[in-house]
Structure 1
Amino acid sequence: MRLIIALSGLAAASCLLAPPTACAQMQALDDSELALTSGQGLLELTNSSANGFDFSRISLGADVALNANFRNMRWGEYSYPARNGSGADIDIAALQFGRSDGTAAQRVVQITNPYFEVVYRNGGNAATREIVGMRFGFDSIAGDIGLKLNTLSGSMLIDGGAAGTLDSRGDPGGGKRWDGACTGTCLNFNQVGAIRAGDANGPSRDFWMAVLKTPVQFAAPNPAMPLPDVAQAGFWMNWRDRLTALNATGALPPNLLAGVAAAK
């Protein structure tokens, strides 16, 4: 089932500010008139069911150009005796969208259709309906990103070329509170500092982050892609599609404000 939610407040406000002759009074449309009308809603609500769970997704049909820096982010702080690690499911020392030492296009990361999805079960029974968790993600993301990980709970794949790959599927602990340790020709967290989302084939298409009470199998981003790994309870991040390491030294690219970068 799909429901388009259209916001008409902007149009109404424009009429209030315009001369009386510039706007006509709004009139209700019957079903036959609505059938002849097309438009784009700001928000899109999609409901689906799979594997015993129900999903309600609210998508913001927007293209976003983002430049931002985040530091010392920790999600899911609780005791996990099997592998407590740094004490958090996800511990990110630095996350930078864009860079200031490249072209104008590299200053921002391009994001399309951000969405928020609620997961629940027994949706048809008000007495037993239960919220299982939620996730936030993007349909696609492209650009240069500074990334320093301390601990990851999730599924991630980064192609480091000759230096090897960073692949959480090689973790004996199943990717839960992984510290990036690996053996053989591979990247570890200390070597990752800058990645590129997207390649010649298009943007990266599978970034999302979830917080859940129980494991959940989410759907594939599109029919041509495989199912993601099962998201585990707690905080879980998924990002495997078209990610490339820009160096194997762990160096973060600079991402200064435009005025500061020009002064340098």
Structure 2
Amino acid sequence: MSKSLLARLAAPCLSSLLALNAQAALTEMTDKELSDITGQALLTLDGLTYGGFQYTRLNFGAEIDVLLNMDELRMGEFDRSGLPGLASNQPADILINNFALGRVRNNNNANATIEPFKIQDPYIEFAFKVNSQGVREIAGVRLGFGKAMGYLSGDILSLTGKMQGKIYGPASLGKDYYMQQNGLNDFTCTFNINCLALSLAGDTEVYATVELLQQGTGNKILNGVPVNRATHIGIPAGESLQTDATGLIASLIPTLTMASNCSALGLTTCFPLTNYKSIFVGDPSNQNNINLGGAQGIFFSLQNQNVPWQDLANIGQFVETQRGAFANFAKTGSGANTAYPFVLTLFDALRGTAREPTCMGSQAAGC
């Protein structure tokens, strides 16, 4: 990881955010007019010192609507051999083909309309540290959003960071999926212990938090650090489906569905990230209001050493990142106030999601 690599992230971010077209005539204002005006500048600066690092954050007080298509998003490409946490042999920490933000509705006809990815209060932040020679140098840079909402699409080959989502739905969907995968019917299901257990759960509503995992084991921690270059997401080993329902069967669900080696009750609990071609970021029940439905705390960062970034969505907390690239899509709050950056039905979690068109015309990707 080098300074030039950090600059490659900062340069396009700065150029895109500063490409604002404004036309206005300058006229003198009276003292009375000036005294009647209150407001905040488009650009503000914040500073912070923590853990031996000094931070400078450039805040853009703006709301941005974007439709973005990129053949490939590749960040943190370097040799991780011998470093802890390596979950795959992918060449980069973040590697997404056909990456896109936003979508196009009715893309292949004259009524095509753009549904943008909405960003509120974006910022760019730099982390500095004095090295062993006494020289103050840049240690990391990140691009973040106060709030974000819309479709994120791509063929996700590798992710490093936090990707915490919620899956939910009736347990019967798990039974239907299990029967389909194992060629069972309602009669033969009664002679299969896993299928029978899923049948007893019926339509009980279940939910779980899914995270980045190592394929095969379901571990989210390797060698004492969070997995990097993950290719799978799912229910971590040792965790299970939960329910708010009451009764004997409901009370058994957490125990019966505890994940181990990427499996629970015969159901796969680790899924390739490539299964999910498009994910809605934010609260889908508030798609028209970023203030209510926007996901908080999202950022992408590059750092040439382990850097703790201030968690702007959880006051007083920091997000610990490893050397390399990092994507932060973490849940915020706790208990009843927990908010997830994305939510999937159990049906979509098990079967994957289709690509939302992001191009005008017949192509859904690769504009």
TM-score by length of 1: 0.75
Q: Check the 8 A contact 1:76/1:235 in 2, yes or no.
A: yes
* Structure 1 counterpart SS, 2:274: helix
Which letter does structure 2 place at the counterpart of 1:57? R
CA deviations 1:47-80 (Å, max 9, x no partner) are: 1122221110001111011112222221122211
TM-score by length of 2: 0.56
Q: Check the 8 A contact 2:124/2:144 in 1, yes or no.
A: yes
Q: Check the 8 A contact 1:146/1:195 in 2, yes or no.
A: yes
What is the RMSD of the two structures over their aligned residues, measured on CA atoms? 3.4
Q: Check the 8 A contact 1:216/1:232 in 2, yes or no.
A: yes
State the alpha-carbon separation in 2 of the partners of residues 38 and 196 from structure 1.
Answer: 36
Q: In proportion to residue count, which structure has more helix?
A: 2
Q: By how many angstroms is 1:232 displaced?
A: 0.7
Q: Check the 8 A contact 2:232/2:270 in 1, yes or no.
A: no
* Structure 2 counterpart SS, 1:168: strand
Q: Check the 8 A contact 2:140/2:307 in 1, yes or no.
A: no
Q: Check the 8 A contact 2:104/2:113 in 1, yes or no.
A: no
Is 1:168 matched with 2:271? no
Q: By how many angstroms is 1:132 displaced?
A: 0.9
Which aligned pairs between 1:77-88 and structure 2 lie closer than 5 A?
A: 77-82=77-82, 83=86, 85-88=89-92
Which letter does structure 2 place at the counterpart of 1:167? E
Partner of 1:114: 122
Partner of 1:7: none
State the alpha-carbon separation in 1 of the partners of residues 274 and 61 from structure 2.
Answer: 36
Larger relative contact order (CA 8 Å, sep ≥ 6): 2
Partner of 1:138: 145
State the alpha-carbon separation in 1 of the partners of residues 39 and 306 from structure 2.
Answer: 38
CA deviations 1:138-178 (Å, max 9, x no partner) are: 11101222232101111111334357654026434322112
Q: Structure 1 residues 238-247 or 207-216, which shifts more?
A: 238-247
Which letter does structure 1 place at the counterpart of 2:220? D
| Percent identity for Structure 1 against Structure 2 | 23
Is 1:57 matched with 2:65? no
State the alpha-carbon separation in 2 of the partners of residues 240 and 76 from structure 1.
Answer: 20
* Structure 2 counterpart SS, 1:117: strand
Q: Check the 8 A contact 1:160/1:187 in 2, yes or no.
A: no
State the alpha-carbon separation in 2 of the partners of residues 104 and 111 from structure 1.
Answer: 22
State the alpha-carbon separation in 1 of the partners of residues 164 and 52 from structure 2.
Answer: 28
State the alpha-carbon separation in 2 of the partners of residues 106 and 171 from structure 1.
Answer: 37
Q: By how many angstroms is 1:240 displaced?
A: 2.1
Partner of 2:232: 180
Partner of 1:97: 101
- Stretches of structure 2 lacking an aligned partner (at least 5 in a row): 1-21, 175-207, 214-218, 235-261, 264-268, 286-291, 332-339, 363-367
CA deviations 1:13-45 (Å, max 9, x no partner) are: 614xxxxxxx44x89x9xxx9888633312111
How many corresponding residue pairs? 235
Which letter does structure 2 place at the counterpart of 1:252? R
Which aligned pairs between 1:1-264 and structure 2 lie closer than 5 A?
A: 14-15=25-26, 23-24=27-28, 38-82=38-82, 83=86, 85-101=89-105, 107-122=115-130, 128-162=135-169, 166-168=210-212, 170-173=219-222, 174-180=226-232, 183-184=262-263, 185-199=269-283, 200=285, 202-223=293-314, 227=317, 229-241=319-331, 242=340, 243-245=342-344, 247=348, 248-257=351-360, 260=361
